[in-house]
Amino acid sequence: MRVLVTGGAGFIGSHVVDALLAAGHEVLALDDLSTGRPEQLDPRAALTVADIRDRGLTALLGDLRPQAVIHLAAQVDARRAALDPAQDADVNLMGGLNLLAAAQAAGVERLVFASTAAVYGDPQRLPVAEDDGCRPLSGYGVSKLAFEHYLRIAMGNGGPAATVLRFANVYGPRQDPHGEAGVVAIFGARLLAGEPCEIFGDGAQARDFVYVGDCARACVLALQPAAAGGTFNVATGHMLTVLELYQRLGRLTGSAAPARHAAARPGEIQAICLDASRIQSSLGWAPEVDLDEGLRRTVDWFRARSLG
Ligand SMILES: NC(=O)c1ccc[n+]([C@@H]2O[C@H](COP(=O)([O-])OP(=O)(O)OC[C@H]3O[C@@H](n4cnc5c(N)ncnc54)[C@H](O)[C@@H]3O)[C@@H](O)[C@H]2O)c1
């Protein structure tokens, strides 16, 4: 298939490009390079530097003629979304709608959307299943959930057959350690550099950490006809506390420095993990890289980068 990956120069996007190429697809990437890095994109994927909010997107997609779009381009910083929800909605909702209209006009058949566990808010039970109800606590979660609904409506009106993937906390090589999103990347890079790490509150917050290569594989599987119209969690179903994560990364990096504890962040969800049985039974996806292996690969990557 001829597949366009928006956000293709980003952390997850660049791995999705790799997985698509490995599966034999023809791959195009679109990214405004606001956080993406072209040097991590496989050169076999032609990169178009463009903003998903650009009015010229319809003409652009008309020229590129993708059969499928995997939409990962986004404003991904939940703290920034809290400070400036209009900016978040401008990229994640208005940009998404602009892309959707362009995809529809260009006759795109399939669209896979990278959504998030943030759509659920504070879970009523663990692990959270797709139908458990969504009550996002952040502007980021609201804009992602709203776009899920727009996709569903568009599909009923002749739009592309859409698949929603709700990722848990994704980690792995190429994650930006300077952003706000990835605690594994932040701790890993700082521990290797001998810099102090900060844990908000007591570190008992627990999250579901899923390896980026597994998420990329889920994106490729989501192109199959059986995935059309579906919403799927992409997660391990297991939880690790931030403190445990810090200790594991300390052992892997050889750093014994204790973390500093800063004030807890108000409104932070205490514990969340997602039930991934639907994607397992429908698409045959299961995580293949366990936490030990995934953290080791991530630390190795940061170590090689700091030496290079
Ligand atoms: N990392 C996670 O834990 C996680 C969890 C759940 C969902 N997601 C979703 O996965 C997707 C990828 O996230 P990521 O972690 O790889 O972040 P990332 O910042 O590395 O990737 C986002 C990419 O989108 C590009 N981009 C941003 N705004 C754009 C715009 N207006 N036009 C075109 N390109 C634009 C950026 O340059 C970047 O390359 C996002 O949609 C994010 O919401 C990520």
**Residues 157 and 265 grouped into a single domain:** no
CA torsion angle for 14, 16, 20, 22 (degrees, to 10)?
70
What is the pLDDT, as a whole number, of residue 198? 94
In this structure, are 203 and 151 located in the same domain? no
- What is the reported pLDDT for 234? 98
Residue nearest to atom 21 of ligand 1 (CA): 10
The answer to whether 87 touches 51, Cβ cutoff 8 Å, is no
Q: Judge if the beta carbon of residue 72 lies within 6 A of ligand 1.
A: yes
Phi–psi pair at 211, nearest 5 degrees: -75, 140
Q: Do strands 26-31 and 2-6 pair parallel, antiparallel, or not at all (unpaired)?
A: parallel
Domain with 109, as residue range(s), is 2-170+209-234
Ligand 1 mean position, distance from CA 255 (Å): 30
Are 193 and 264 in a shared domain?
A: yes
Residues 109 and 192 in one domain: no
Between the CA of 74 and the centroid of ligand 1 the distance, in Å, is 4
Is the distance from the beta carbon of residue 29 to the nearest atom of ligand 1 less than 6 Å? no
Atom 41 (ligand 1) nearest CA: 72
Q: Cα separation of 207 and 237, whole Å?
A: 10
What is the best residue among 6, 14, 72, 233 to mutate for testing ligand 1's pocket, by most ligand atoms within 8 Å of CB? 72
Within this chain, do residues 118 and 181 fall inside the same structural domain, yes or no? no
Radius of gyration of the chain from its Cα atoms, rounded to whole angstroms: 19
Tens of pLDDT, residue by residue over 26-85, are 999 999 999 999 999 999 999 999 999 999 999 999 999 999 999 999 999 988 999 999
Which tokens in the block code for residue 207?
A: 């999250």
State whether 130 and 76 are in the same domain.
yes
Nearest CA to ligand 1 atom 28: 74
Q: Is 10 in the pocket of ligand 1 (CB under 6 A)?
A: yes
pLDDT in tens, 127-156: 999 999 999 999 999 999 999 999 999 999
Ligand 1 site, residue 51, Cβ cutoff 6 A: yes
* Burial zone of 46 (CB within 10 Å; 0-12 exposed, 13-18 middle, 19+ buried): middle
Q: Go through 175-197 and write b for each residue having 16 or more CB atoms within 10 A of its CB, e for each that does not.
A: bbbeeebbbbbbbbbbbbeeeeb
Determine which helix (DSSP H) or strand (DSSP E) holds 244, and give its type and residue range: helix 242-253
Q: How far is ligand 1, taken at its centre, from the CA of residue 35, in Å?
A: 8
Strand 240-241, strand 206-207: pairing: antiparallel
Domain match, 94 and 179 both: no
Q: What is the CATH number of the domain that holds 103?
A: 3.40.50.720
Q: Is 133 helix (H, G, I), strand (E, B) or coil?
A: coil
Q: What's the number of domains the chain is made of? A: 2
* Shared-domain flag, residues 197 and 100: no
Whether 140 sits among the annotated catalytic residues: the reply is yes
Kindly give, in sequence order, each residue whose CB lies less than 8 Å from that of residue 74, ignoring residues fewer than 6 positions away. Answer: 7, 91, 92, 114, 144
**Which atom of ligand 1 is found nearest the CA of 71?**
41
Amino acid at 272: I
Query: Helices 183-192 and 291-307: crossing angle, nearest 10°?
Result: 50
Active-site residue, selected from the candidate residues 120, 140, 211, 246: 140
Q: Is 9 in the pocket of ligand 1 (CB under 6 A)?
A: yes
CB of 167 shorter than 6 A to ligand 1: yes
The answer, yes or no, to whether any atom of ligand 1 lies below 6 A from the CB of 33, is: yes
Tokens of 282: 């429908």
Residue nearest to atom 26 of ligand 1 (CA): 73
Q: What gap in Å lies between CA 243 and CA 206, rounded to an integer? A: 9
Residue-level pLDDT, tens digit, the chain, 308 residues: 999 999 999 999 999 999 999 999 999 999 999 999 999 999 999 999 999 999 999 999 999 999 999 999 999 998 899 999 999 999 999 999 999 999 999 999 999 999 999 999 999 999 999 999 999 999 999 999 999 999 999 999 999 999 999 999 999 999 999 876 799 999 999 999 999 999 999 999 999 999 999 999 999 999 999 999 999 999 999 999 999 999 999 999 999 888 999 999 887 899 999 999 999 999 999 999 999 999 999 999 999 988 65
- Indicate whether 162 and 178 sit together in one domain: no
pTM exceeding the 0.75 threshold for the entire prediction: yes
CATH number of the structural domain spanning residue 186: 3.90.25.10
Same domain for 247 and 230?
Answer: no
> Which of 8, 3, 6, 15 shows the shortest CA–CA distance to 298?
15
Burial group, residue 54, by CB count within 10 angstroms (0-12, 13-18, 19+)? middle
- 248 and 156 both lie in a single domain: no
Which atom of ligand 1 is least distant from the CA of 35? 37
Give the length of the chain: 308
C-beta of 88 in contact with ligand 1 (< 6 A): no
Considering the domain architecture, whether residues 226 and 247 belong to the same structural domain is answered as no
Q: Is 132:80 a contact under the CB 8 Å cutoff? A: no
